[in-house]
Structure 1
Amino acid sequence: MSPLLIIVALAGQTPQATTAESRTIGLHNITSGDPSGWGLALTGMFIVFIALASITLAIAALPRVLNFLEPYLPEESSHGHSAPASPIAKLAAMPADGTAAGNEEAIVAALGYVMHTRKQSP
């Protein structure tokens, strides 16, 4: 019997009064009583499998879809601030004559950055 016929047949049944015995949870509800229990259980598992596979495929295809849509999407706007410049870039922006007028913080930051990177390397 196909799973679709099982679902249609179950949808047409009238609800029965629930008793304490019919509210039990477990494999016993599938194996005994209604012969279409296995079909219903497999149909439910198949539906969940298809849903999870669809989600997986959608996530896997997302980078390709975004690359395709990239020419049509607007550029990313800034949020009112730019990325912080590295201490080395600030040091490189100092005047070439060697004066440190107002750039003491940049020099200290650059030295701290160099010391930190040397300490991190093996």
Structure 2
Amino acid sequence: MGARQYTGSPEDADIRRADSLAREIFSDVANKWALLIIETLGGRTLRFSGLRDEVQGISHKMLTQNLRMLERNGLVRRTVHPTVPPRVEYALTEPGHGLRATIDLMCGWTHDNIAHIEASRRHFDTGRG
């Protein structure tokens, strides 16, 4: 995704397509609600109301929008059970679990570097005033 020199070959077209798709997916999932939904689902299957109860502060509308986006990107599977009323459940797909593992690594990186980050922020905030 960095700066590349493209030659116009078919391989370049594939790389450009992959880069564009990666940017779209990063943009989609790099919001607090999507990350919290992925983290909350983990290895569980939850109904909409269960997700809403566990993702503190999310509105019905935001949960719906984010679940649709995650489903569209193949990260969440939506299962409708033919009952009255219909029972709808959500679970991570295999790629969704892979993304969750990446998110967990990022959280671990943050934990490992928290002292450095906090010191840098204090230095920046006091030195710029």
Greater fraction of residues in strand: 2
- Normalising by the smaller structure, the TM-score range is under 0.3
Greater fraction of residues in helix: 2
| Structure with the larger RCO, 1 or 2 (CA within 8 Å, 6+ apart) | 2
**TM-score under structure 1 length normalisation:** 0.27
